[in-house]
Each structure stands twice: as structure tokens, then as C-alpha cells.
Chain A
């Protein structure tokens, strides 16, 4: 079995045990595809969460990390047999750490067709400031 441990890289694995100290434990989860863009005033975060509705989405912003958890709204109905599956039947979880450079109270989130768009305004302290010389 030690062969297996060496064959399977621990980093970059899709399904994690999620036992790494994130606040509410949602069990096994998969990291969604995401993109981060930056403008002068804000960071723009796009997270692809197919099958997640507004009710199943949980965004927690803390002083040093942003946690996005998405539960799939769809459940396999009774009588349906899976012939072939590619999508993992586990919730999405994305934890991004930041250095407290975001105005937490001004975060704006929008979920449409399984795409979550977050606007994270930069805090005033990290914006460039001109200092007048007296």
C-alpha cells in the first residue's frame, strides 16, 4: 500500500478529506474552477458552481480568509440509475486566504446560472495615496 501513497500526489487532488481545520465541516468536497481578476479598486472573483442554487450557497468572509461552500440543489431522483458519471456528487468548497486588504462589509456577490461573481473592494489602506508635502 505504500506504493499507492507514493503514486498519488497529495497536492492538487480534486477530492479532499476537508479535515484541514476549515470552520464548518461539510465532509468531502471538491474545489471549483475559479478566476481572480484585479482592478485598481477591487478584486473580481468568478467561481464556477454548476448545479448550485442560491439556497445552497454559503459565503463566509473573515479577516484573513474567504470561504465559499456550495451544495448541489439537485438530488438523484428515485428510480434513476447512473449509467456513467463524471461530476463528483460532493459539495464545492473554495477557501482563499487574503491579507486583510478587503473591505468585508462591501463585498458584493451575484449567482447566476451556476456562476458566482464576487466583487471584493480593496481596503483604503492598500490603495495608492498621494501625500502632499507641507
Chain B
């Protein structure tokens, strides 16, 4: 009996040690470990510089999204809520020698609860953007733009 979740054979499971016909019993575990490393190393590895970490919290009244975006200007942040997806777009500008270096970030997060889209608020402090999304009973798809304080 296998305790690992089934997943399609990948390149590693076709490694010569196991032969081409049999699947590595560690496939599921490998995937899980990969995910673990991806999440633990995101934001630290140079190639994923444009990906920023996001935390999701809730209490009785609100859902909160906290995004780690150090060094961005408030004018360069835009927060949009479209049909259950919250999209955060930001840019960081730095003086690099004579010119200016700009790094842009963008991320969409699925919001689990239906929210009062006209009462969404955002605040930026110490390099962390906090978006407060008040909960509501019924869902109404609409697009809104949110001002960042």
C-alpha cells in the first residue's frame, strides 16, 4: 500500500535506478518537498525578485491581506478587486548610477469570502501593505479600484 498521493510520473521518477516502467514511490514526497522549498525560498532567491510574499488572515468581520513590499512608493501601488480576485500591482524605483532602476511587482490572490467591495481599505506601513476586506453575505460581481493610503 502506498501512502503517497498519486501524481503523474515526472522526469525524476523515470530515473534509471527505477527503470522506465516503474514509478518512484517518492514522487509525491518529492513534489511536496519542492513546494516547501519554493515557498520557503521565495523572495530570497534572485530569480523570484518580482514575486512577493502574501499572508491571508481573517477575523469575524474582515478578511485581511498582508503583502511584503519593502521600499515602494504609495503612488506606485494599485489594488484592484475583480470578481473575487485581489490584484496588487506595485513598483520600486531606485537610483542606479546615472539612471533609475525600476522593479515592478504584481500578484493576484483569490479572496475566499465574499466582501463588501466598496468598503475595502488599504494601508502601507514599514514596507507591508495591509488590505482590509469587510465580509458580507451575498456576492455581487463588480470591478472597483481602491485608493491606497
Q: Known A73-B126, A86-B39, A113-B126; judge A50-B68 contact (CB<8 A).
A: yes
Q: Are B59 and A115 in contact (CB under 8 A)?
A: no
CA distance A87 to B55 in the complex (A): 7
Q: How far is the CB of A5 from chain B (nearest CB, A)?
A: 13
Q: Which candidate, A17-25, A75-83, A126-134, is the interface stretch facing chain B?
A: A75-83
Given A49-B127, A73-B126, A114-B127, residue A84 in contact with residue B69 (CB < 8 A) = no
Contact A115 B127 (CB under 8 A): yes
Please give, as numbers and ranges, the residues of chain A lying within 8 Å of B54 by CB-CB distance. 84, 86-87
Of the candidates A7, A30, A74, A81, the one whose C-beta lies within 8 Å of that of B59 is A81
A86 and B124 CA atoms in complex are apart in Å by: 18
Binds A, one of B16-24, B41-49, B134-142: B41-49
Given the interface contacts A76-B57, A80-B64, does A114 sit within 8 Å of B42 by beta carbon? no
Once bound together, how far apart are the Cα atoms of A51 and B125, in whole Å?
7
The binding surface of chain A is classed by DSSP as loop
B9 located at the interface, meaning its Cβ lies under 8 Å from any Cβ of chain A in the complex: no
With an 8 Å Cβ cutoff, the count of chain A residues facing the other chain is 33
Kindly state the separation between the CA atoms of A14 and B33 in the bound complex, as whole angstroms.
14
| Chain B positions 38 through 74: 1 when the CB is less than 8 Å from some CB of chain A, otherwise 0 | 0111111000010001111111100110101111100
Contact A14 B40 (CB under 8 A): yes
- Contact A83–B58 (Cβ < 8 Å): yes
| Minimal beta-carbon separation of B86 from chain A (angstroms) | 12
Also in contact, A87 and B53, with CB within 8 A (given A50-B68, A115-B70):
yes
Cross-chain contact of A81 among B41, B44, B57 (Cβ < 8 A): B57
Pairwise interchain contact B57-A86, C-beta atoms closer than 8 A: no
Taking Cβ atoms with an 8 Å cutoff, the residues of A that contact B are: 7-8, 12-15, 30-31, 33, 48-53, 73-74, 76-77, 79-88, 112-115
Q: List 29 A-B contacts (CB under 8 A).
A: A14-B40, A14-B41, A15-B40, A33-B43, A33-B49, A48-B71, A49-B70, A50-B126, A51-B126, A51-B128, A52-B126, A53-B126, A77-B59, A81-B57, A81-B58, A82-B55, A82-B57, A83-B58, A83-B112, A84-B56, A86-B53, A86-B54, A86-B55, A113-B71, A113-B72, A113-B124, A114-B68, A114-B70, A114-B127
- Enumerate the 5 nearest inter-chain pairs by beta-carbon distance, A residue then B residue, closest first: A114-B127, A114-B70, A115-B71, A50-B68, A86-B53
